Structure 1
Amino acid sequence: MWARILGAGIMALGVGTAQAEEVTLYAAGSLKAALGEVAEDFSERQGLTVVTQFGPSGLMRERIEAGEAAQVFASANMRHPALLEAAGHGGPVTLFARNKLCALAAPGLAVTPETLLEVMLREEVTLGTSTPKADPSGDYAFALFEKTDQAESLKEKSRQLTGGAASAKAPGGRNTYAWVVDSGQADLFLTYCTNAVLAKKEVADLQIVQIPEALAVGADYGLILLDEAAPGAAALADYILSEPGQAVLAQYGFETVNAR
């Protein structure tokens, strides 16, 4: 799609151009493992260097607005790339993957999908989320709260432990969500199911609790090609939507869209 817009596709990249070109990808932190692999695959296929930056989507959007030279932005929601498009920073915005929330629970915490709301409300249970506005995961968690009759209580008791500009960083090499729960900062943490799976790989005793249907919140991920992006950036955006790119996303637990 973007390759056609720029009049240059993956096959149109000359060898000399490909060798000299560098593509910059900014993406949501929840995409680090999956899009990191997609970027490596693309680099091997095309001979292009892909420089990646991962972090909370809202903060990444602010960095782009402040003038950082991103060429492709992959957000954990549609809103942040839509704001960039509306401000004239690029476009169009395209849905490229979906995710959903799960609860990551400490070992030994008695909780099931059926008792999740009750457990979240218990005074002795520390409930963690990411930071709304800065990180879409926090927005999705607060949207989940709004589906209950105790939304304000849940918002007040929840601790925004990740995704903010001032949030504590996990020690080097640690999965952020495994560290937050394993270190006792939260007994129960609402995050993407893909994040929860990676956290459990690091700390096997952590529990992944599915969100009951009545409280379920879906996450739509949006992709935008930014202004003055090189042909290689358009090719990368198309590759993320291609069958090989979508297959990698699926391997990491994302729900994919129709591959190109």
Structure 2
Amino acid sequence: MLKRFLALAVGLGLALATLPARADEVYVFAAASLTNALNEIAADYSARTGQVVKLSFAASSTLAKQIEMGAPAQIFASADLKWMDYLAGKKLIDSASRRDLLGNRLVLIAPAASPLAPMALTAKTDIAALAGSGRIATGNPDSVPAGIYFKQSMTRAGQWAKVAPRIASAASVRAALALVERGEAPLGAVYATDAAISRKVKVVGTLPDSLHDPIRYPFALVAGKETPAARAFLAALSTPAARGVFAKYGFTVN
């Protein structure tokens, strides 16, 4: 299933790279964890201004690669600094427009019916033991931000060697959430905002911030695609109304 998803993602990137952006629309490529908040903000913005906003959600790594291939994104919103820096290094974003708008926290989740009780997680908590004989769902630890943060946490806690063979690697943080929702994994590492939108999972605990790099969401215009409409929508994401929506979904607003 994962291989099929990745193949579809690459295929989508190739298809998008051949499609020109319409001048009267704003194209936003955003990390999967932003889905609910940005859908609400964009719908409200379109209702107020008449501006059409097209949103595409996936893992930050997938979207960055699609932008590199020429996909018609005008705004990129990443769930970590790495993939925004990747595009900046290739001069594919407008650095002057870059803003770190949001923050998040990394939590462990379990299916709602799991016997696991909420607990205070520390560097000494045996994460592999919490999963029993099952696997731990998270984003791909080599490319998907949520998985990268989780790998950092387990590495700094001295547990990665024990946890790594138990990882159920997903193509995005929402895909990892779905694995736990369906009971295919008894434990998962996702963002607090992802856990908050699902009634099928519960939060077991929050991983200490000290175990991973700060979770920050940089937003920026894509170089060469800085239309007035795109600039206006990016600016709208910093307004009190938008900040209120982000906060409602559990993001830390910078």
Q: TM-score band (shorter)? A: 0.7 to 0.9
On the 8 A contact 1:28/1:57 being kept in 2, the answer is yes
| Equivalent position amino acid for 2:49 in 1 | Q
Tell whether the 8 Å contact from 1:120 to 1:188 is kept in structure 2 after alignment: no
Equivalence for 2:146: 137
**Structure 1 residue 210 corresponds to structure 2 residue 206:** yes
Amino acid at match of 1:130: G
Shift of 1:117: 5.4
Name the SS for the 1:67 alignment partner.
coil
Whole-angstrom CA distance in 1 between matches of 2:166 and 2:158? 15
Conservation of the 8 A alpha-carbon contact between 2:75 and 2:219 = yes
CA offsets per residue over residues 19-66 of structure 1, 9 Å max, x none? Answer: x71100110000000011111122122211001100100000000000
Matched residues, number: 225
Residues 138-169 of structure 1, C-alpha deviations (whole Å, 9 max, x = no match)? 111111112212222222322213429xxxxx
Rounded to whole Å, the distance in 1 between the matches of 2:209 and 2:63 is 31
1:235 is matched with which residue? 232
The SS at the match of 1:241 is: coil
Alignment of 1:111-122 (within 5 A): 112-114=119-121, 118-122=125-129
- Report the equivalent of 1:11: none
Q: For 1:60-75, what aligned pairs fall within 5 Å after superposition?
A: 60-75=63-78
Aligned CA distance change for structure 1 residues 187 and 111 (closer, same or farther; 3 Å): farther
What is the Cα deviation at residue 80 of structure 1? 1.2
- Cα 1:178/1:83, change in 2 over 3 Å: closer
TM-score, reference length from structure 1: 0.78
Question: Do the aligned residues in 1 keep the contact of 2:103 with 2:252 (CA within 8 Å)?
Answer: yes
SS at match of 1:24: strand
Unaligned runs of 5+ in 1: 1-19, 165-174
- Partner of 1:59 in structure 2? 62
One-letter amino acid of the structure 2 residue matched with residue 156 of structure 1: P
CA distance in 1, matches of 2:124, 2:203: 16
**Which has the higher Rg, Structure 1 or Structure 2?**
1
Distance 1:83 1:218, change over 3 A: same
Give yes or no for the alignment of 1:161 onto 2:170: yes
Instruction: Pick one of 135, 159, 164 that aligns with 1:150.
Output: 159
Give the SS at the match of 1:206: strand
CA contact (8 A) 2:123 2:211 kept: no
Q: Deviations over 1:171-190 (max 9, x none)?
A: xxxx7455311323211100
Give the CA deviation at 1:217: 5.4
After superposition, the Cα gap between the structure-2 partners of 1:207 and 1:77, relative to the gap in structure 1 and judged at 3 Å, is closer
Q: Do the aligned partners of residues 55 and 213 (structure 1) sit closer, same or farther apart at CA in structure 2, a change above 3 Å counting? A: closer
For 1:247-258, list aligned pairs within 5 A: 247-257=244-254
Q: Letter of the 1:95 partner, please give it.
A: D
Task: List alignment gaps of at least 5 residues for structure 2.
Answer: 1-22
Question: Higher mean Cα deviation, 88-97 or 232-241?
Answer: 88-97
* Aligned-pair identity (%): 26
Taking structure 2 as the reference length, the TM-score comes to: 0.80
Is structure 2 residue 39 aligned with structure 1 residue 36? yes
